[in-house]
Structure 1
Amino acid sequence: MEQMGLTQATLIFIVANVFLSIIGFTNDRFVRWGLLTTEGVLKRQEWHRVLVSGFLHADPMHLFVNMLTLFFFGPLMEFVLGPQTFFLVYLGSLLAGSALALVMNAKNMDYAALGASGAVSGVLFSFCLYAPFEMIYFFGIIPIPAILFAVLYVAYSVYGMGARRDNIGHDAHLGGAIGGVLLTILLKPEIVPHFLNEISGLFG
């Protein structure tokens, strides 16, 4: 995949994530205010957390990984979808990730999460729709066709949601991925025949 230069909406999201995350790294009160928690959202109706939490990160490495992924896939999908549609896909995926996390953890008042992973997953899955056989380099080394990556990603997320053996927000990842696919199809319906043509081309 040829790397494009940073585009407007992608740059806005990267700057917003970096700016708010850096504030959070040195301001615990700000993080507690924006953190996605079931108690805060479902019990106290603090709905800002659903959005703000997607621009906060646990540490610099968490921020770096998410922004690196957005840097590689954001500009291309912004070019394909158009800036306004890309903007909606990103934010919609973020909200979808937060929503699924809240639904899956509704009975756990200790649940808390933060990070742009839901939004970035949405962008990544939008890319998988557009270029299903483009290689995605897993861990930056192992080439995997985008469509296979998507299948493995969903399988791992479902497994992680059930196992609950780590601190990864599998719920938000899966919710964001689903949101990215649905929003891309809804806002850019011509991508469906494009995807089907790519699939049929494999067997043609």
Structure 2
Amino acid sequence: MLQELLALPPVTLFMLVMNVAVGAYSLLVDPSLIDRWAFKPFRVVREKEWSRWLTAGFVHVGFMHLLFNMITLFYFGPYVETVVGSGRFLAIYIGSELLANALTYAKYKDAPQYSAVGASGAISGVLFSFCLFEPFSLLYIFFAIPMPAILFAVLYVGLSIYASKREVGRIAHEAHLGGALGGLALTLLLYPAALSIFLSQLGLG
């Protein structure tokens, strides 16, 4: 397992290590870090706490939250980073997180009690970037249900919009949506060949 980790592309490996290290520290040693680093739209501008736009992506509400995000990054990050290059991959990862938080900010900027944590926005961006290159690759939802990546992407966006409007559960659905759309847009912007690859996979290229 250690050998597999060390063989990962550099940005994927760095993000995995940072997320696990910070996540474990905040959950086991200093839980107050979660609150201090969380994305709080009401405070980021009023209190000029700009760092929250990035720090929120490294703290999680629990080990299952952290584990799910890191498993997704482990499986899809290396592919995307290898295709687009480490510099572009870093931009897609960070950019997706920022765009996820931007959507959250737009919705909750006047809600003093709202806060969000986790790398889900960035991970959604990586996953949707992967979908551009491998739209018919089978994803296993909940590790059991096979589904083509392109179908998953359509359902994911639709359900995120629906859940965000109805505020279903305690999940930041708007952040997932912002990250996913950010991953698509940034991949197409930074790696234009992704569009022709996607169209050729659909038989339109």
Aligned length: 200
So what's the TM-score if we normalise by structure 2?
0.93
Distance in 2, matches of 1:97 and 1:109, equals 19
- Residue correspondence of structure 1 range 5-84 to structure 2 within 5 A: 5-25=7-27, 26-84=29-87
For the 8 Å contact 1:90–1:180, the answer to whether it is kept is yes
In structure 2, which of residues 80, 90, 105 is the aligned counterpart of residue 87 of structure 1?
Answer: 90
For the 8 Å contact 2:139–2:146, the answer to whether it is kept is yes
For the 8 Å contact 1:24–1:31, the answer to whether it is kept is yes
Please, which runs of 5 or more residues in structure 1 have no aligned partner?
none
> What is the aligned partner in structure 2 of residue 177 from structure 1?
180
Distance in 1, matches of 2:86 and 2:31, equals 33
SS of structure 2 residue aligned to 1:6: coil
Structure 1 range deviating more: 8-17 or 34-43: 34-43
Cα drift, residue 39 of structure 1:
2.2
Distance in 2, matches of 1:165 and 1:84, equals 36
Question: Once superposed, what is the RMSD of the aligned Cα atoms?
Answer: 1.6
For the 8 Å contact 1:94–1:118, the answer to whether it is kept is yes
So what's the TM-score if we normalise by structure 1?
0.94
Distance in 1, matches of 2:180 and 2:190, equals 15
Q: Which amino acid is 2:111 matched to?
A: N
SS of structure 1 residue aligned to 2:135: coil
Distance in 2, matches of 1:190 and 1:165, equals 37
Cα drift, residue 58 of structure 1:
0.5
SS of structure 1 residue aligned to 2:202: helix
Identity %: 44
Distance in 1, matches of 2:144 and 2:33, equals 37
For the 8 Å contact 2:96–2:179, the answer to whether it is kept is yes
